[in-house]
Amino acid sequence: MIITDTHTHLYSESFDNDRQNIIDQAIKNGVSRFFIPAIDSTYTEAMLTLEANYPDNMFLMMGLHPTHVKENYIQELTHVEQMLKRHKFYAVGEIGIDLYWDRSTLEVQKKAFKHQIQLAKTHDLPIVIHCREAFDEIFEVLEEEKDDNLHGIFHCFTGNLEQAHQAISYNMKLGIGGVVTFKNGKIDQFLDRIDLKHIVLETDAPYLAPVPYRGKRNESLYILKVLEKLEILYGLNAETIAKVTTQNSFEVFKV
């Protein structure tokens, strides 16, 4: 059984003391494909090192995270452009809009988001979207950018059924992680009404650990708890869900 974690920050400082063990344990338990989203240029070297150490398992993205769209965002976007020309990446991400921390940066976040969507199209890559308290704003940009080349993943999907269908209409898969195990997560109430062909699995490690690890550091291994929850919701066995969601990840990332 091959399980794909489509979103995990394994280069995070949170794993500095036990990174190899964390990765080896995940691989030992069938989690053998890891897609690694970018945050900003300060993490690029660590991401490249991770890929060099696990060339068969790590698949890197390049992008500027919306919470890191700051005064130097033009410089950061230039770094993204340069890296996309120099190195093989499998997506532009994670990109998007986050209005939880700071609504005053909305306009520059939108500019950065649109610019990176266009970069993804230029390089024939999917996008991986970060959305926090910004569904309307994200959909507004996607509506402007929609065409046959727009596709990717709506990472850490936390919306309602209507928003799920709208995201899918833009050729996005829904990234389902630890939130599906939360009592107040709500997506478990309708997820079985979304065809599994639209779903990919993720952890967002070290963030958003699933129950029973909620509040602790998340790990890629804990994707097994997400898989268990989907077994219950869809009435399918783990092998089937792993196979379908991994196939979905192939469709997105072409690897």
State the CATH number of the domain containing residue 187: 3.20.20.140
DSSP secondary-structure letter at 243? H
Provide the domain limits for residue 115.
3-253
List pLDDT tens digits, range 158-167.
999 999 999 9
List pLDDT tens digits, range 121-141.
999 999 999 999 999 999 999
pLDDT value for 24: 98
Find all residues with CB under 8 Å of 193, minimum gap 6, and list them: 161
List pLDDT tens digits, range 84-93.
999 999 999 9
> What is the pLDDT confidence band of residue 111, given thresholds at 50, 70 and 90?
very high
What is the Rg, in whole angstroms, of the alpha carbon atoms belonging to the chain?
17
Partners of 95 in the β-ladder: 129
pLDDT value for 117: 98
Three-class SS state of 28: helix
Cα angle 25-26-28, degrees, rounded to a multiple of 5? 65
> What is the pLDDT confidence band of residue 208, given thresholds at 50, 70 and 90?
very high
* 241 touches 78 (CB < 8 A): no
pLDDT > 90? residue 102: no
Number of domains, the chain: 1
What are residue 24's phi and psi, to 5 degrees? -65, -40
List pLDDT tens digits, range 180-206.
999 999 999 999 999 999 999 999 999
**Average pLDDT in the chain:** 97
> What is the pLDDT confidence band of residue 213, given thresholds at 50, 70 and 90?
very high
| Mean pLDDT calculated for residue range 44-68 | 98
pLDDT > 90? residue 245: yes
pLDDT value for 127: 98
* 12 touches 219 (CB < 8 A): no
Amino acid letter for position 46? A
* 252 touches 126 (CB < 8 A): yes
Distance CA 2, CA 50 (A): 20
Distances (CA, A) of 156 to 16, 53, 76: 24, 27, 24
Three-class SS state of 195: coil
Of 251, 197, 205, 247, nearest in space to 226 by CA = 205
